[in-house]
Chains A and B, each alone.
Chain A
Amino acid sequence: MTAADRTTEVVVVGAGYSGLSAARRLVASGLDVVVLEARDRVGGRVWTERTPGGALVDHGGQWLGPTQDQLSALADECGVATFPTYAAGANVEVRAGQRFTFTGLVPTSDRDAAAETVAALLELDLLAQEVSPSTPWDHPDAAVLDGETLAGWVGRTTASPTVRDLMSTAVLAVFGCEPAELSLLYALSYAHSGGSLSALVRTAGGAQESRFRGGAQQMAVQMAAEMGDRVVLSAPVTAIRTTSGGVTVTAARTGPDRGQDPWTVAARRVVVATPPAVQARIAFDPPLPGARDQLALHAPMGSVTKVHVVYDRPFWRDQGLSGQVVADAGALRATFDDSPEDGAHGVIVGFIAGRTDRQLESRGPAGRAALVVEELTFAFGPAATSPLEVVEQRWSAEPFTRGGPVACFGPGVLTGCGTTLRDPVGPVHWAGTETAEAWTGYIDGAISSGLRAATEVAAALASA
């Protein structure tokens, strides 16, 4: 056996919000840390970029909502200001090929369906209150709730196609997958982790309430800068071997100056802060316990493309419109106003998600852009026909995320192997927003999961 290229106390795999939060806490507790990041940037599922035309867009996680205390505290610490997501005016509803406007949360063109949707959402939210976000498998009816999909529940609850479509739109926007792909137990646990399903889909008073001036990636960039050369970019981890002294982590360091030689870091502990689907591609020696391995194999990411359409100005505001669209079909089922705070130009952000995202893969960027512009023109009028730019980010095409925004557990997984989600395996600890006990799937959950894993590691090393 050759000596490791570098020796440290803790290796963190992944420099997203979770990994960086873990690393930062470990460093603060006096431990030596190396963070191995596969990409050539930090932030993971949060990535702010200036488009060729000069607009600043968040390709991934971007919002801050009430009770997201970890994210709010981090932003304060980093001196990053927030501003309210623009939501004044009426929302547009597209249903059965027709256009309507509405205010509030639920589209109202079909009032009976709207009332039924409100009642169904309440029923789901009340059920969710009974499901623990940290240990959903402990619910007395866990087997039953985990034995069906959210689509199954919706199908039993309502016969109205309009209600089903509205529920699908909400699920696609939140999870990036179809209700048929999602365990009811997981959906309830996930909703409760952020308060309620209604809170997840709200702008004001909900998960989309505020945005970060200068973009959501800044705090990650600052945390990484604080850690200096402890953060190693372009170093995808391929293997984690448990040794007598801890672990040896192998990374394929790529890049012009590095060649393709595997690079190893020896440490006492490792924190794996990636989505489970990405973790599943790391070779563990010895292999992970069966249930933990199965959990990662049963954790497909949602399928989502985030599209920003940039206009010279937010013209929809002149028509008294909020920029929010809720559609029962098409490429974009949900949109928001994502213009800069000063309204210097207009930006609509929308999500192509689930089955539609997979179906439109072969169309290519230009084909998808044409479709998106056509739909926005239907929603907002002829002024939408000529955007300055259409910029998309296909998360499914990202090998180091494999989709987005979050893992979507199907039926039987949480009750089958969910208990292994956070349990360390020897010197291997787990972080990542999928392991969060509050705001699972959100930046806030990523941060708290990283902090939790760091506390675990520090305690383990202190008692060793």
Chain B
Amino acid sequence: MATVEEVAEAYADWQVRCNANTRLAKMLRGWDRTVHLVASDTGDGFTAGVADSVLSDLVTGLVGVPDLVVTATSEEFADLFWGDLNPSEKYISGEIVLAGSAEDVMRLDAMSMVVFLDQ
């Protein structure tokens, strides 16, 4: 189990890597979305966003109306953000659940995979 602080710390690391990734900048162009992250084990909620190809800071709590909702355990979130877990594999196996439009799900799946592979 990961605490709110541990998830936030891992996210901050991931955010830096995302925002430094040129391949990702191209993939995110024109995609402005609000994403809710729900930790299924702790019940903690987080809100993140992407606008102008830049990933925003993580906010604790579920803020605003999400375009996408990602449900995983707190540990999986931390591992994903640290780059220790293949996000596509977890999504395919159903351990991480992405809810949103088909296009948004595709984009989030692809962007998380690219960041994972490019580390």
Are the C-beta atoms of A115 and B118 separated by less than 8 Å?
yes
Are the C-beta atoms of A115 and B92 separated by less than 8 Å?
no
Q: Is A227 an interface residue (CB 8 A)?
A: no
Q: Is B62 an interface residue (CB 8 A)?
A: no
Q: B90 to nearest A CB, angstroms? A: 9
Q: Which residues of A contact B118 (CB under 8 A)?
A: 111-112, 115
Q: Is A106 an interface residue (CB 8 A)?
A: yes
Q: B52 to nearest A CB, angstroms? A: 18
Q: Which residues of A contact B110 (CB under 8 A)?
A: 118-119, 121-122
Q: Is B113 an interface residue (CB 8 A)?
A: yes
Interface residues on chain B, number (Cβ under 8 Å): 20
State which size class the interface on A falls in.
Answer: 20 to 34
Q: Specify the main secondary structure of chain A where it touches its partner.
A: helix
Flag A164-205 by CB within 8 Å of B: 1 or 0 each: 000000000000000000000000000000011010001111
Q: Which chain A residue lies CB-closest to B89? A: A104
Q: Is A458 an interface residue (CB 8 A)?
A: no
Q: Is B114 an interface residue (CB 8 A)?
A: yes
Contact flag A119-B102 (CB < 8 Å), given A106-B113, A204-B92, A205-B94: no
Q: Which chain A residue lies CB-closest to B21? A: A115
Are the C-beta atoms of A104 and B102 separated by less than 8 Å?
no
Q: Which residues of B contact A105 (CB under 8 A)?
A: 88-89, 92
Flag B81-119 by CB within 8 Å of A: 1 or 0 each: 000001011011110000000110011011001100110
Q: Which residues of B contact A129 (CB under 8 A)?
A: 102-103
Q: Which residues of B contact A119 (CB under 8 A)?
A: 23, 26-27, 110, 114
Flag A87-115 by CB within 8 Å of B: 1 or 0 each: 00000000000000001111010011011
Q: Is A125 an interface residue (CB 8 A)?
A: yes
Q: Is A116 an interface residue (CB 8 A)?
A: yes
Instruction: Please pick, from B23, B89, B94, B109, the residue contacting A116 in the complex, using a CB distance under 8 A.
Output: B23
Are the C-beta atoms of A104 and B113 separated by less than 8 Å?
yes
Q: A54 to nearest B CB, angstroms? A: 33
A125, B89: Cα distance in complex, Å: 18
Are the C-beta atoms of A104 and B106 separated by less than 8 Å?
no
Q: What total count of A-B pairs have CB within 8 Å?
A: 59
Q: Which chain B residue lies CB-closest to A206? A: B92
Q: A133 to nearest B CB, angstroms? A: 13
Flag A415-434 by CB within 8 Å of B: 1 or 0 each: 00000000000000000000
Flag B59-77 by CB within 8 Å of A: 1 or 0 each: 0000000000000000000
Are the C-beta atoms of A125 and B86 separated by less than 8 Å?
no
Are the C-beta atoms of B114 and A115 separated by less than 8 Å?
yes
Are the C-beta atoms of A196 and B117 separated by less than 8 Å?
no
Q: Is A126 an interface residue (CB 8 A)?
A: yes
Flag A137-165 by CB within 8 Å of B: 1 or 0 each: 00000000000000000000000000000
Are the C-beta atoms of A125 and B92 separated by less than 8 Å?
no
A326, B101: Cα distance in complex, Å: 29
Are the C-beta atoms of A196 and B106 separated by less than 8 Å?
yes
Contact flag A126-B89 (CB < 8 Å), given A111-B117, A112-B118: no
Q: Which residues of B contact A122 (CB under 8 A)?
A: 27, 106-107, 110
Are the C-beta atoms of A204 and B94 separated by less than 8 Å?
yes
Are the C-beta atoms of B86 and A115 separated by less than 8 Å?
no
A122, B106: Cα distance in complex, Å: 7
Q: Chain A CB within 10 Å — which of B23, B89, B109, B117 has the most?
A: B117
Are the C-beta atoms of B86 and A103 separated by less than 8 Å?
yes
Q: A336 to nearest B CB, angstroms? A: 14
Are the C-beta atoms of B117 and A115 separated by less than 8 Å?
yes
Instruction: Please pick, from A118, A203, A204, the residue contacting B113 in the complex, using a CB distance under 8 A.
Output: A118
Q: Which chain A residue lies CB-closest to B24? A: A119
Q: Which residues of A contact B103 (CB under 8 A)?
A: 126, 129
Q: Which chain A residue lies CB-closest to B86? A: A104
Are the C-beta atoms of B88 and A104 separated by less than 8 Å?
yes
Given A104-B88, A118-B110, A204-B92, 20 additional A-B pairs, CB 8 A: A104-B86, A105-B88, A106-B113, A106-B117, A111-B117, A112-B118, A115-B113, A115-B117, A118-B114, A122-B106, A122-B107, A122-B110, A126-B103, A126-B106, A129-B102, A196-B106, A202-B92, A203-B92, A205-B91, A205-B92
Report which A residues bind B (CB closer than 8 A). 103-106, 108, 111-112, 114-116, 118-119, 121-122, 125-126, 129, 195-196, 198, 202-205
